[in-house]
Amino acid sequence: MIPISCINSLEGNPFEANRSVVNSSEVSGTETIVTASSECCKLIQLSDLHLQALAQQRYRDRDVEQQLLAVLGHIEQQHPDLDGLLLSGDLVHQGHSAAYRRLARYLERFDKPWYWIPGNHDSFQTMQRIRPAQPLNLRCNGWSIVLLDSTSAADGQGSGSLAESELRRLEEQLQICQKLKAGLLVVLHHNPMSVQSDWQDRIMLANADRLWALLGRYKVQVTILFGHVHQQWDLTQANVRVLGCPSTAVQFVMAQEQLLVETEGATALPGYRWLKLFSAGSNQEPNQQTNSTTANRFALETGVEWVCVD
Ligand SMILES: [Fe+2]
């Protein structure tokens, strides 16, 4: 098993502006980074759970609580080698603390580290109260992972943006990765590029141009994980792989002018994404089925699973 270590373990408000983070010079040559000893780091991404205040309440006519439990059972069976879980927002539909507490309890079954970020439906204050010291910068198998809050300056319709403090945190991680020649996995809720649906593009990351401008200034291999759109995506922009995670609750039909829930086929099922992060110089062979990338120095293998619910 690959240990996931924290570059900085924050206390208090984990997304607070101007929190001190370990800078490049501190990172190089300190014991803060743990070198991976195994072949890959396996992560699971869950997104858009939309849990309700009461476990038996439904969301868009789905029993989202039972669907989540089915997904977790599937992960337990199919990925006993997982190293950690990333939850990319809209965890709770209306920010009720009871739902966050149930979620935290469910995740204990894995006995693995897990990390969450808020989406536009979440109550960040409630999340903070429940997990006040969650790390936001991780290291795993030669990769850095930065967890970003994209819910700043929300328009009330679902959009959100990266606050200046989050852009600064991202830039600090880019500097570290460039210096250490590490791969960078960026995790945020909102899609940072079009998903070809008018209604969804209107509520994408509002300041995506700032994100792309920042990424373009550094020679770092970056992969972005997002949720929000309730769809599976594997996109590329400016040499960056951009991966969308399906929801554990409902999927939205692609390429629509208005919201339409998927009701037929495998993609109507609850889903999740798995990722294997290989260290630099890994001998991992290309795998067409799972869409691995070996052209880059750090190989990333990923796929989406759809889960039948009884
Ligand atoms: Fe959502």
The pTM assigned to this predicted structure is: 0.86
Helices (H), ranges, the chain: 24-27, 64-78, 97-107, 124-130, 164-180, 198-201, 208-215
Helix axis angle, 97-107 relative to 64-78, nearest 10°? 20
Going from the Cα of 146 to the center of ligand 1, the distance in angstroms, rounded, reads 21
Give the list of residues 6+ apart from residue 71 with CB closer than 8 angstroms, or none.
46, 248, 270, 271, 272, 307
Going from the Cα of 169 to the center of ligand 1, the distance in angstroms, rounded, reads 25
**CATH number, residue 51:** 3.60.21.10
Number of domains in the chain: 1
pLDDT tens-place values along the chain, 310 residues long: 445 654 433 223 333 322 333 333 333 322 233 234 468 899 999 999 999 999 999 999 899 999 999 999 999 999 999 999 999 999 999 889 999 999 999 999 898 999 999 999 999 999 999 999 889 999 988 899 999 999 998 888 899 999 999 999 999 999 999 999 999 999 999 999 999 999 999 999 999 999 999 999 999 999 999 999 999 999 999 999 999 999 999 999 999 999 999 999 988 999 999 999 998 766 554 444 444 443 457 899 999 999 999 7
Going from the Cα of 90 to the center of ligand 1, the distance in angstroms, rounded, reads 5
- pLDDT score, position 29: 29
Going from the Cα of 28 to the center of ligand 1, the distance in angstroms, rounded, reads 38
C-alpha to C-alpha distance for 132 and 128, rounded to whole angstroms: 5
Going from the Cα of 126 to the center of ligand 1, the distance in angstroms, rounded, reads 18
Instruction: Decide: 278 and 243 in contact? Cβ < 8 Å.
Output: no
Going from the Cα of 279 to the center of ligand 1, the distance in angstroms, rounded, reads 32
**Chain centre to alpha carbon of residue 152:** 17
Best CA proximity match to 71, nearest among 268, 243, 227, 272: 272
**Residue type at 201?**
D
C-alpha to C-alpha distance for 60 and 221, rounded to whole angstroms: 38
Per the structure, the complete domain to which residue 290 belongs is given by 4-309
- pLDDT score, position 15: 39
C-alpha to C-alpha distance for 303 and 204, rounded to whole angstroms: 23
Going from the Cα of 99 to the center of ligand 1, the distance in angstroms, rounded, reads 15
Going from the Cα of 230 to the center of ligand 1, the distance in angstroms, rounded, reads 6
Report phi then psi at 293, rounded to 5. -115, 115
Q: Where are the beta strands (DSSP E) in 238-309?
A: 240-244, 271-278, 300-306
Beta bridge partners of 252: 261
Going from the Cα of 12 to the center of ligand 1, the distance in angstroms, rounded, reads 26
Going from the Cα of 30 to the center of ligand 1, the distance in angstroms, rounded, reads 39
Going from the Cα of 236 to the center of ligand 1, the distance in angstroms, rounded, reads 22
Going from the Cα of 245 to the center of ligand 1, the distance in angstroms, rounded, reads 11
- pLDDT score, position 3: 54
Instruction: Decide: 91 and 51 in contact? Cβ < 8 Å.
Output: yes
Instruction: Decide: 146 and 184 in contact? Cβ < 8 Å.
Output: yes
Residue 258: CA count within 13 A, CB half-sphere: 0
Going from the Cα of 120 to the center of ligand 1, the distance in angstroms, rounded, reads 8
Going from the Cα of 189 to the center of ligand 1, the distance in angstroms, rounded, reads 9
- Please tell me what DSSP assigns to residue 80: T
Q: Which residue has the tokens 């929190």?
A: 19
Going from the Cα of 309 to the center of ligand 1, the distance in angstroms, rounded, reads 20
Going from the Cα of 190 to the center of ligand 1, the distance in angstroms, rounded, reads 9
Question: How do strand 222-226 and strand 240-244 relate by DSSP bridges?
Answer: parallel
**Residue type at 195?**
V
Going from the Cα of 204 to the center of ligand 1, the distance in angstroms, rounded, reads 12
Going from the Cα of 281 to the center of ligand 1, the distance in angstroms, rounded, reads 37
3-state helix, strand, coil in the chain (%, to 5): 25, 25, 55
Going from the Cα of 15 to the center of ligand 1, the distance in angstroms, rounded, reads 21
Q: Where are the beta strands (DSSP E) in the chain?
A: 5-8, 40-46, 84-88, 114-117, 137-140, 143-147, 183-187, 222-226, 233-237, 240-244, 271-278, 300-306
Going from the Cα of 179 to the center of ligand 1, the distance in angstroms, rounded, reads 36
Three-class DSSP category at 218: coil
Going from the Cα of 231 to the center of ligand 1, the distance in angstroms, rounded, reads 10
Going from the Cα of 151 to the center of ligand 1, the distance in angstroms, rounded, reads 13
Question: How do strand 222-226 and strand 233-237 relate by DSSP bridges?
Answer: unpaired
